[in-house]
């Protein structure tokens, strides 16, 4: 409780007006507009060895029917090994290979055995589709970690109590409603019009009129709206480090971590 009060102290004064709050250890996200909670969703966050970082950013744009450029770590550890074992994997997953200039490369021309655990010299891009890893909506919040929020086709994971299954980005369960709220333009963007664009399958970038501050935080203890104390498992093993720093700091106001 002491550690989490310290975490809250560093950001509580800034949590007002419009903001999107992602609680990493709590596996949740909440959107507040004009100081009122208008949206809540379960989330999936990074695995302990691919942690979702704590940071502040601003939600400025979203993408409907996004493509997915496979990140280097996932490329090396997941996609390339699957492609090496199963020649049809890329086509089945709506993935294509491109070089540095964006030129398509024939998968059959690649000797996959040359790249076990080593750098793959091409980019693999997944086209918009129902099984795209980003789902149908991607929320862009520029940051040094290349982390963003997105929809997902793997909805069954949201039924689990603990959800550290991603590679660092945050998957949200109710992405369509979040998109409607942050677009904040009922005449142009409503559930039907958003669904129509998604059904068309064409990538579309949309700049938001209302820029929304985003805070990705890490809390393992909190009091809910009913006044009940809640605790979450410290999935990233952060509490002991914070506690030791608080014990060692001559002035607790100098501690501050991750924000």
For residue 256, is pLDDT > 60?
no
Q: How confident is the model at residue 259 (pLDDT cuts 50, 70, 90)?
A: very low
Residue 254 reports pLDDT greater than 70? no
- pLDDT confidence tier of residue 76, bands split at 50, 70 and 90: confident
pLDDT for 116 beyond 70: yes
- Average pLDDT on 120-141 reads 94
**246: number of Cβ within 10 Å:** 15
CATH number, domain 2-67+130-254: 2.40.440.10
Listed by start position, the domains of the chain span 2-67+130-254, 68-126
Partnered with residue 42 across adjacent β-strands are: 28
Average pLDDT on 76-85 reads: 90
Give SS3 for 103: coil
Report residue 32 CA to chain centroid gap. 18
For residue 114, what pLDDT is reported?
87
Token reading at 160: 């689990």
- 74 pLDDT tier (thresholds 50, 70, 90): confident
CA distance 96 to 104: 7
- Active-site annotation holds for 108: no
% pLDDT > 70, the chain = 95
| 253 pLDDT tier (thresholds 50, 70, 90) | low
Which is catalytic among the residues 97, 107, 147, 169?
Answer: 169
Residue with tokens 């793959």: 120
Q: Which of 42, 96, 136, 150 is catalytic?
A: 150
CA distance 210 to 19: 11
Q: Please, are residues 124 and 115 in contact by the beta-carbon 8 Å criterion?
A: no
Q: Is 94 a catalytic residue?
A: no
Report the relative pairing of strands 221-223 and 229-231 from DSSP bridges: antiparallel
Q: Which three-class secondary structure state does DSSP give residue 242?
A: helix
At residue 251, the pLDDT reads 63
The 10 Å CB-count burial string (b at 16+, else e) for 139-169 is bbbeeeeebbbbbbeeeebbeeeebbebbbb
Calculate mean pLDDT across residues 201-215.
94
pLDDT in tens, 138-150: 999 999 999 999 9
% of residues, the chain, pLDDT over 90 = 67
Give the CA count within 13 Å in the CB-facing half-sphere of 70. Answer: 26
């Amino acid at each position: 409780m002491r550690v989490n009060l310290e975490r809250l102290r560093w950001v509580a004064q800034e949590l007002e007006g419009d903001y999107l709050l992602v609680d990493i250890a709590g596996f949740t996200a909440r959107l507040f507009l004009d100081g009122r909670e208008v949206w809540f969703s379960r989330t999936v966050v990074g695995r302990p060895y691919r942690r979702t970082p704590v940071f502040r950013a601003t939600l400025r744009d979203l993408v409907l029917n996004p493509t997915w450029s496979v990140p280097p770590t996932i490329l090396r550890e997941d996609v390339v090994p699957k492609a090496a074992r199963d020649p049809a994997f890329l086509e089945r997953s709506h993935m294509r290979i491109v070089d540095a200039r964006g030129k398509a490369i024939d998968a059959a021309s690649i000797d996959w055995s040359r790249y076990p655990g080593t750098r793959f010299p091409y980019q693999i891009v997944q086209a918009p589709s129902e099984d795209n890893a980003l789902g149908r909506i991607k929320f862009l919040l520029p940051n040094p970690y290349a982390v963003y929020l997105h929809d997902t086709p793997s909805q069954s994971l949201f039924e689990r109590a603990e959800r550290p299954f991603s590679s660092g980005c945050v998957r949200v369960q109710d992405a369509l409603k979040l998109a409607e709220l942050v677009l904040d333009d009922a005449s142009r963007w409503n559930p039907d019009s958003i669904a129509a664009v998604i059904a068309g399958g064409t990538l579309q970038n949309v700049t938001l009129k209302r820029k929304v501050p985003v805070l990705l935080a890490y809390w393992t203890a909190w009091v809910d709206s009913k006044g009940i104390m809640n605790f979450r498992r410290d999935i990233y093993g952060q509490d002991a480090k914070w506690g030791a720093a608080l014990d060692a700091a001559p002035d607790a106001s100098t501690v501050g971590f991750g924000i």
